[in-house]
Structure 1
């Protein structure tokens, strides 16, 4: 659910009330959100740099000992980068929010350009968040304790998330960009005209998002349910892996819950208010989603406070082969998941 979804009709009757207080409040809220996200970008960038230093050190030690074989967890690298990319996209969106709040009442051209661009950035941030969760559930099903749960139906559900997500992104962006135009008004940017039912883009996004959220939560909750049924004692040899899955599941539930609450507030409390308030609510939703994803990692403190952590305490993604015992594939997955 995004800008112009519910409660906005074409050429709504506008009064000439003074929205100065809303403008100031929106700027303050947007600035606070921007400050928080800029900090996250800076922290993740420093963490990224330290991981690269750690990987270089591992490669140097490998070569100095006359070894040439090593393994690298590419999925862990991608999850780290997706968090950083999502944060950068949210920074860009918040900058656009500031422009809209400042010029949305007077400059129609600003609304026509900024609103579609914000829709693209919104899709980008959400995609990054749920791609991280998707990659993690894929890795969970490679754990020894979960291998017996992988079947054709589970694989179908797992890949269906990506199909639904990509389809939702493409169709939603096209609906917001190709079927409508925004203009300025006394309460900010609103829909000027639309070639389709005005609520269709938001309704489509809402239904598609709920669909892949439900599937993803099911894939995360299912192994916990099966494990709880099979091993009710706390002496399970896979307790550490199960705790990790539970941690990520809680983060996913919190992300979905925040999304639902913000969407409900948007279509009720904020449906007829100053137009910039609803996008700011979605910005807060995306910030909380990013935060939930980051804290779901075991080393979340290192990611959020990297300047307080020595590089030696950072876990890299490059491992020497001679450190892997017995089954290489199994051990790699176990080690990497503990830091992912």
Structure 2
């Protein structure tokens, strides 16, 4: 058993420094709370608008009795639900941060309960965000323009993303929940003891996360490289899809870099800050990831800035079927809500 001393986190800080950091942490937690609340409101509003559009389409189908030529984009619905779930988790974490700010200095029970819940939430939110990106690359490869690139190697790489996600969540989060206990100190919740090396769960989760992040980036980079090599054969029809893939690739890189930087910085400064600051740093990472995953869609302004005047109407997920012989297969990519 690995025992951890009570001064594991910022134990050498004096009372005045702890007080200053507590004020700063409270200010940051308040800012993150309002940001996550805004994201939850606009995402819920977008979901409501899409629901209204779908309801209107259903009514028109019932009146015209021509439902055989219509289909529902289930993948688009799943991505919207996952985004809503991830933002709801982030908002809930922000509410829990205030409880930790109030009680983490006086209750071991609160520390153990909060850290268990928040560790689970972190894994669930991160998985939801990257599942959206995973669905996005599947949509790109499903289009007629990229279907020829979806070979066995790409299929295996795509499936391995899910495998690494599941492995990291099941093993990494389970180790965090089952092998350690926390206690309250003047610097907040710190590890009392761990049945394994306290760095092992985080390192394992980080390793799995980095693996599927690299594979995801490769899945977006692969068609871009092939298109550059065969630019003379690609034609103008690929340009719009290429722009979407490039934007998704860049935003995924931004999300990955923020994740890695937060993990690295929090580890380096853990002895210099009170424990709640590390939790808030991970909250910042989750919020950035949520915003990035929203911005990979063409209608990101409608999702993030619904109060501005929009030039394009919100699309529903019930659409006309696209024949396999249709040359406008790029519509499968472009019209995703």
TM-score, normalized by the shorter chain, greater than 0.5: yes
Provide the C-alpha distance between the structure 2 equivalents of 1:339 and 1:153, rounded to a whole number of angstroms. Answer: 26
Which position in structure 2 is the counterpart of 1:244?
244
The SS at the match of 1:174 is helix
CA contact (8 A) 1:73 1:336 kept: no
Q: Indicate the residue corresponding to 1:212 in structure 2.
A: 212
8 Å CA contact retained: 1:255, 1:288 = yes
Is 1:192 equivalent to 2:192 in the alignment?
yes
Is contact 1:83-1:290 (8 Å) kept?
A: yes
Q: TM-score, normalised by structure 1?
A: 0.91
Distance 1:65 1:312, change over 3 A: farther
Q: Does 1:82 align with 2:79?
A: no
Residues 271/74 of structure 1: CA separation in 2 closer, same or farther (3 Å cut) = farther
Aligned to 2:65: 66
CA contact (8 A) 2:143 2:332 kept: no
Aligned pairs for 1:112-191 (under 5 A) are: 112-191=112-191
- Residue 53 of structure 2: aligned partner: 54
SS in 2 for 1:181: strand
The alpha carbon displacement at 1:159 in A equals: 0.5
Shifted more, 254-263 versus 56-65: the winner is 56-65
Q: How far is 1:95 from its partner?
A: 1.3
Aligned to 2:288: 288
For 1:46 and 1:310, the matched residues in 2 are separated by 14
Shift of 1:9: 4.2
Tell me, yes or no, if the aligned pair for 1:252 and 1:292 is still in contact at 8 Å: yes
| 1:25 maps to 2:20 | no
What is the aligned counterpart of 1:327 among 321, 325, 328? 325
Partner of 2:6: 11
8 A contact 2:143–2:329 mirrored in 1: no
SS at match of 1:141: helix
Distance in structure 2 (CA, Å) of the matches to 1:54 and 1:156: 37
Q: Which moved more, 1:277-286 or 1:223-232?
A: 223-232
Matches of 2:110 and 2:265, distance apart in 1: 26
Q: Distance in 2 between matches of 1:210 and 1:134?
A: 14
Contact 2:315 2:335 (C-alpha < 8 Å) held by counterparts: no
Determine the C-alpha separation between the residues in 2 that align with 1:55 and 1:309.
22
SS at match of 1:191: strand
The alignment partner of 1:223 has SS state of helix
CA contact (8 A) 1:119 1:176 kept: yes
Contact 2:100 2:276 survives alignment (8 Å):
yes
Tell me by how many angstroms 1:263 deviates.
1.5
For structure 1, which segment, 210-219 or 139-148, has the greater mean C-alpha deviation from structure 2 after superposition?
139-148
The 2-side partners of 1:283 and 1:185 are apart by 22
Hey, what does 1:260 align to over in structure 2? 260
CA shift for structure 1 position 311: 11
1:149-182 deviations in Å (ceiling 9; x for gaps): 1111111110111011011101112111110000
Q: 1:47-85 deviations in whole A, cap 9, x for unaligned?
A: 001001111111222222231221110000111111110
Which residue of 2 is the match for residue 43 of structure 1?
42
Task: Tell me how many residue pairs correspond in the alignment.
Answer: 330
Q: 2:6, 2:185 within 8 Å by CA — same for their partners in 1?
A: no
Deviation, 1:262, is 1.2
| Secondary structure class of the residue paired with 2:237 | coil
Q: Which moved more, 1:246-255 or 1:312-321?
A: 312-321
- How far residue 272 of structure 1 moved from its aligned partner, in angstroms, is 3.3
- Asked if the contact 1:54–1:311 (Cα under 8 Å) also holds between the matched residues in 2, the reply is no
Aligned-residue CA RMSD (Å): 2.2
Q: Which moved more, 1:9-18 or 1:267-276?
A: 9-18
